[in-house]
Structure 1
Amino acid sequence: MYPEHPGHAPAQRAVEVHQPTPLPPAVAVPAPVVPVQPNAVPTVASIVLPDGRVVTGYAINPAQPEPVTAKPPVSRAAVNVALGGVGFLAVCGGLILLTSFIAALTAFITQLITLAAVIFGGWIVVQIFSTSGHQGGTTVNIRKATFKRNHFHG
């Protein structure tokens, strides 16, 4: 139990008893009434169970799916326009590739012509600015009327 204080006699403890407070009974709330259109009032049906009880209620009709409307056939003109668009896209893609190929080929030929001009022009420049001495080949001495081949006279 509880420890006693020194110098005090044990005291009598009072026992408290708590009684639960009863709750008032719940008041039944009536269910809300849903207004029904007069032309759509369902019929009331009664069923007698095997033990003799009678159950009365509204008959529930299964929900009917909405009828599927037939799709109108696609017009021939729409099909032709769509196919023409696909063909046009295919042609445009081919024309882009062809244009790119022609541009690349033109650039390649231009580079070859430029390279040939640089090489040939360089050869001409070397021929012009090189020393004018004999560099082999046929030598013609007009004064002595002698012809010497592949002989260097220096």
Structure 2
Amino acid sequence: MYPDHPGYLPVERAVTVHQPTPITPAQTTPLVPMQPGSVPSVASVVLPDGRVVTGYAISPVQPEPLAAKPPVSRTAVNVALGGVGFLAVCGGLLLLTSFIAALTAFITELITLAAVIFGGWIAVQIFGASGHGGGNTFHIRKAVIKRNHFHG
């Protein structure tokens, strides 16, 4: 509710106070006195207009030698090696696919051969002319057929 609303009751809220943390002064290292032999020599230069400028001779800062760049960038080498690896994988997958197809054909041939051999064995068992059958054998020597009727 808003403060101008007739039923407004003020709500007490907790207030958090943050105290600033003092900053400690930076520690400075004491100056080390220079050895007498390491004091640079003073140089004077005469300018074209006749003024003389005196100061310490400062040796120029030598830039860091650049690392020798390879003749081919590393990115190009990485891309080329990735391409070689991809070709090797593709060749391996092609060989694997050929191997699976050959294995499938071989298993199919074995199943067909087993079916032919087993089917032939069953046919010999059924239609074979073995003399030790368990049924009755009838020998018909003379048959007379009269009026579509068999007399044996």
Alignment TM class, shorter chain as reference = 0.3 to 0.5
Q: Return the index of the structure with the highest Cα Rg.
A: 1
TM-score, L = length of structure 2: 0.41
TM-score, L = length of structure 1: 0.40
